[in-house]
Amino acid sequence: MLKVSKLLDQGHGLASVLLKRAAMVELDWDVRQKSRFSATDNTGRQVAVFLPRGTVVRGGDVLVAEDGSLIRVVAAAQAVLVITACSTHGSPFDLIRAAYHLGNRHVPIELQADHLKIEPDHVLANMLESMHLIVKSQQAPFEPEQGAYGHAGHNHAGHSHADHGHEHKH
């Protein structure tokens, strides 16, 4: 069994040719939010992952095995609810209101400009529909927000503090 104890955030620092040659493992959100799990990569190798507690694996991250081999993580399609605004009975602001209510319930949520995604929950689906939102079941990758305190050593989606003209207070 191949052991993994290192993760490269989005493959940062690796040449694209190495990423293309890397083995791949497709994992759903339930597995990726755990710091210890086992999986099988696309070459058939069994992989045992032991990351620091609290580590969340994202689609696009790269696992580094003890033998130096690379395994690119792909967010697997899974059952999700896709929430969109109803152009007839509402406005795009309704998505902001829905995100607020879901956040108050500590629901993992993926935020996009034109939709939200959550894991299936019929009670929440009913609540959202009562708010005049459109809720559809789909199979899609799920990448919920980490939250403001979700990780140490943040990367601001690929840019540093020096990359833009304002400061962040910590």
Q: Please say which residue of 29, 47, 75 terminates a domain.
A: 75
Tell me what pLDDT residue 16 has: 92
Q: What is the pLDDT of residues 103-156, one digit of tens each?
A: 999 999 999 999 999 999 999 999 999 999 999 999 999 999 986 555 443 343
* pLDDT at site 157: 42
- CA distances to 7, 16, 48, 54 from 160, rounded to whole Å, are 19, 21, 32, 23
Q: Are residues 68 and 8 located together in one domain of the fold?
A: yes
Question: Which CATH number does the domain housing residue 111 bear?
Answer: 3.30.70.790
From 108, 38, 104, select the one nearest 80 (Cα to Cα): 108
**Residues 71 and 84 grouped into a single domain:** no
Same domain, 53 and 84: no
Same domain for 89 and 35, yes or no, is no
Distance between CA atoms of residues 159 and 164, nearest Å? 8
pLDDT at residue 66 tops 80: yes
The average confidence (pLDDT) of the chain is 88
Tokens 């969109």 identify what position? Answer: 84
**Mean pLDDT in residue range 159-165:** 46
Q: Are residues 11 and 64 in the same domain?
A: yes
Count the domains in the chain: 2
In 3D space, the residue among 108, 9, 136 whose CA is nearest the CA of residue 63 turns out to be 9
43 or 157: whose pLDDT is higher?
43
Q: Given this model, what pLDDT does residue 165 score?
A: 54
| pTM score | 0.80
148 within a domain of the structure (yes/no): no
The domain of 15 spans 2-75
Residues 67 and 101 in one domain: no
Quote the radius of gyration of the chain (alpha carbons, Å): 18
Q: In this structure, what are the phi and psi dihedrals at residue 145, rounded to the nearest 5 degrees?
A: -60, 145
Q: What are phi and psi of 9, to 5 degrees?
A: -55, 115
- CA–CA separation, 43 and 61 (whole Å): 18
pLDDT at 160 over 90: no
**Per-residue pLDDT tens for 70-105?**
999 999 999 999 999 998 888 879 999 999 999 999
Domain membership flag for residue 36? yes
